[in-house]
Amino acid sequence: MAVTSLPIEKIRADFPILQEKIRNKPLVYLDNAASCQKPNAVIDSISNFYRHDYANIHRGVHTLSVRATDKFESAREKVRGFINAASTKEIIFVRGATEAVNLIAQTFGKSNIKAGDEIVITAMEHHSNIVPWQMLCEETGAVLKVAPMNVQGELIYPEFEALLNAKTKLVAVVHMSNALGTVNPVKQMIAAAHEKNIPVMLDGAQAIPHMPVDVQDLDCDFYVFSGHKLYGPSGIGVMYGKQALLEAMPAYQGGGDMIKTVSFEKSTYAGLPHKFEAGTPGIADVVGLGAAIDYLNEIGMANIAAYEAGLLAYATQQAKQIKGLRIIGEAEDKGAILSFVLDKIHPHDIGTMLDSLGIAIRAGHHCAMPVMEFYGVPATARASFAMYNTKEEIDVLMQGITSLIEVFG
């Protein structure tokens, strides 16, 4: 099966960690759904920033502060362009997608959701898009509703739509499942919710490195993602929100840089986006995220999506030829994730044995315990692909799985 072309040798050369040996074997890194590796462009941008431009931002008038501020705000503009937001005022830097969901829950949620109201999620959510809403429901008396999925791992769309009613105050759904790879029909879901004046938050942590995202075309009200899955640094992420919603939301944390005036009697808050960015942020990490976006734009997100679709198709074809292997999640619209179980072999044993061959996969519940419960398994093994992976690495994975089955009899 042909895999759509990318300049793969050049791309792989950009990622120094891919030259590592693990247990005297060439590293085959297939844990990209947990976190992607970093190209030299990102590593160098952070190093150069600390070597030549570092200072605190926004408050200084000296040269280094001005340069650091320019780089920080330039990265905000890069994020805006990358997701096609209308304004940089709609781009809020946070620690990651998890903090973004909690921010929305504790500001928009507490301001707009009360006892008896309903929040709709899906059965395939990451814990980060379940627990904050459960906490909000416990605080307010609201009710969490779960749209079901079928055995292929696809949303049962009519049942999702049936949950939308006058009590629904928010839809918060995953764009692409980290455990199954399912890509939800989010544009259709958003349109259905908006017909009933229900705002929609998308958890884009898994989708953002694999496909083009245009928040204005989707018309989502919030979109959240993490930098570390986008080939950028860890500890940094983005919350996009429509400007009118962000302006109406109360501040999340108090401190420096999010204020306009402070007295012992009263404080007033800064305008967007700084209202939600209290304290000194991860300045160098934001610069690194900007470098990651530059790198991805050079390759092209549509090109990456096409290439990874070819990898997934090839991996799925090969996996189905292995007796005793069961794929978990076979949605028709699916990103580059292959979750599977083997007869009589626990996923943790799969992960450990493959590591002895230099193959890095993830074994566990993937912060999606309700998904595991749905499929009646304690965990899955998950191979997740990125633009630097190859057909040859998939062959190594499948050979490793076959050897593992032979060892376990």
pLDDT for residue 62? 97
Angle between helix 283-299 and helix 40-48 axes, rounded to 10 deg: 150
Extract the runs of DSSP E, i.e. beta strands, from 67-215. 91-94, 118-122, 143-147, 168-174, 200-203
- Looking at the structure, do residues 233 and 128 belong to the same domain, yes or no? yes
- Looking at the structure, do residues 256 and 316 belong to the same domain, yes or no? no
Banded pLDDT at 16 (limits 50, 70, 90): very high
Q: Give 45-65 pLDDT, tens digit per residue.
A: 999 999 999 999 998 899 999
| Distance between start and end Cα atoms, the chain | 30
Catalytic residue among 36, 137, 220, 367: 367
Q: Does the pLDDT at position 2 exceed 70?
A: no
Residue type, 271: G
Both structure tokens of 354: 């493959």
pLDDT for residue 5? 82
- Indicate the number of domains in the chain: 2
Can you tell me whether residue 32 is helix, strand or coil?
Answer: coil
- Residue (of 191, 407, 207, 221) closest to 308 by Cα position: 207
pLDDT for residue 409? 76
Residue type, 99: E
- Looking at the structure, do residues 331 and 257 belong to the same domain, yes or no? no
pLDDT for residue 393? 98
DSSP string, 352-395: HHHHTTTEE-EEE-TT-HHHHHHHT-S-EEEEE--TT--HHHHH
Residue 292 backbone dihedrals phi, psi, to 5 degrees: -60, -40
Query: Residue 355: which domain range?
Result: 8-30+300-403
β-pair type (259-262, 267-269): antiparallel
Assign residue 56 the CATH number of its domain.
3.40.640.10
- Looking at the structure, do residues 164 and 225 belong to the same domain, yes or no? yes
CA distances from 48 to 43, 229, 247, 288 (A): 9, 22, 35, 10
- Looking at the structure, do residues 126 and 212 belong to the same domain, yes or no? yes
pLDDT for residue 124? 98
The answer to the question of residue 37 being in a domain is no
The answer to the question of residue 3 being in a domain is no
Q: Give 164-182 pLDDT, tens digit per residue.
A: 999 999 999 999 999 999 9
The answer to the question of residue 256 being in a domain is yes
pLDDT for residue 59? 83
The answer to the question of residue 129 being in a domain is yes
pLDDT for residue 45? 98
Q: Does the pLDDT at position 19 exceed 90?
A: yes
Q: Cβ neighbours of residue 111 under 8 Å, at least 6 residues apart? A: 248, 249, 250
- Looking at the structure, do residues 175 and 210 belong to the same domain, yes or no? yes
Stretch 102-106: mean pLDDT, rounded?
98
- Looking at the structure, do residues 132 and 195 belong to the same domain, yes or no? yes
Q: Does the pLDDT at position 219 exceed 70?
A: yes
Separation between Cα atoms, residue 168 and residue 353, nearest integer Å: 47
Q: Does the pLDDT at position 1 exceed 90?
A: no
CA distances from 318 to 337, 349, 355, 384 (A): 14, 21, 20, 15
User: 298, 313, 332 — which closes off a domain?
Assistant: 298
Both structure tokens of 313: 């198709």
The answer to the question of residue 241 being in a domain is yes
- For residues 125 and 173, the answer to whether their CB atoms sit within 8 Å is yes
Q: Give 112-171 pLDDT, tens digit per residue.
A: 999 999 999 999 999 999 999 999 999 999 999 999 999 999 999 999 999 999 999 999
- Looking at the structure, do residues 348 and 289 belong to the same domain, yes or no? no
- Looking at the structure, do residues 333 and 287 belong to the same domain, yes or no? no
Q: Give 274-319 pLDDT, tens digit per residue.
A: 999 999 999 999 999 999 999 999 999 999 999 999 999 999 999 9
pLDDT for residue 3? 65
Q: Is 214 exposed, middle or buried (0-12, 13-18, 19+ CB in 10 A)?
A: middle
pLDDT for residue 88? 98
Q: Give 336-384 pLDDT, tens digit per residue.
A: 999 999 999 999 999 999 999 999 999 999 999 999 999 999 999 999 9
The answer to the question of residue 408 being in a domain is no
- Looking at the structure, do residues 87 and 155 belong to the same domain, yes or no? yes
The answer to the question of residue 222 being in a domain is yes
Q: Does the pLDDT at position 204 exceed 80?
A: yes
User: 231, 266, 298 — which closes off a domain?
Assistant: 298
- Looking at the structure, do residues 343 and 244 belong to the same domain, yes or no? no
- Looking at the structure, do residues 18 and 136 belong to the same domain, yes or no? no
The answer to the question of residue 187 being in a domain is yes
Q: Does the active-site annotation cover 367?
A: yes
Assign residue 356 the CATH number of its domain.
3.90.1150.10
User: 269, 298, 327 — which closes off a domain?
Assistant: 298
